[in-house]
Amino acid sequence: MERFENIDDYIADLKAKLKKNPQCGNTHYNLGVAYLSRRDFMEAEREFLDAVAHSPRMAEGYVQLGGIALQRGDLEGCLSYNVQATQQRPFFAVPWGNIGFVQLQQGDTDKAHKSLKKALKLDPEFIQAKATMSSLFITIGDYEEADKMLKTILDKYPNFGPAWNNKSIIHANRKEWADAATCMAKAEENGFDVPEDFKKEVEANI
């Protein structure tokens, strides 16, 4: 994309390529990514659907469709697309991490644990899967394991907001309110939207 002045020029170029070769799954995929960068989810979804229609083995296309489904709150759709991605590429860590995330949202901690373990076996440095695993440990009340997982994330990625938020939750559960406030501030500094109720609870106890 470096040779284009802006995203609109890049989109125009990809559309011109598709006129010559409308069956190219890769071009549809790249156009979908370009639309995503403009937050044009409807057009992006259309292109990713075309991408997997023309290249059914393109696991990344299913992952992107899952992301769009999640963005509109469709957990089942997100799960279904990511399962399709694993069927095309069983050793691709990303969809396993996404499946674990959805299963955790649905309250199925056992299934989520299996999926996240699989993701981390395939890619031990998969930061999103590690963060979701720390959320899972918090959900089941295993704060020690959650803390260990968060340490491995923050030692390597000190600016990863979701990990600071989870650390804040652990401190709050231990009634370590000053530490909870410090970690919450770091989560916000690094772009994480801390839920309002949790923020009020921490602030009320400092």
**What are 147-183's pLDDT values in tens digits?**
999 999 999 999 999 999 999 999 999 999 999 999 9
Give the structural domain span for 201. 127-206
Residue of 101, 158, 95 lying closest to 123 (CA atoms): 95
Cα–Cα dist 168/194, whole Å? 10
In a domain, 94, yes or no: no
In a domain, 80, yes or no: no
- Predicted local distance difference test score (pLDDT) of residue 2: 53
**What are 119-141's pLDDT values in tens digits?**
999 999 999 999 999 999 999 99
- Predicted local distance difference test score (pLDDT) of residue 179: 97
- Provide the CATH number for the domain around residue 152: 1.25.40
Q: In the predicted model, what is the mean pLDDT of residues 98-118?
A: 98
Cα–Cα dist 40/103, whole Å? 27
| CB neighbourhood size of 22 (10 A) | 11
* Residues 75, 80, 83: CA angle, nearest 5 degrees: 125
- pLDDT bin (cut points 50, 70, 90) of residue 1 is very low
Q: pTM higher than 0.85, yes or no?
A: yes
**What are 7-66's pLDDT values in tens digits?**
999 999 999 999 999 999 999 999 999 999 999 999 999 999 999 999 999 999 999 999
Residue of 56, 55, 77, 57 lying closest to 65 (CA atoms): 77
Number of domains in the chain: 1
In a domain, 82, yes or no: no
In a domain, 181, yes or no: yes
CB-based contacts of 193: which residues, under 8 Å, 6+ apart? none
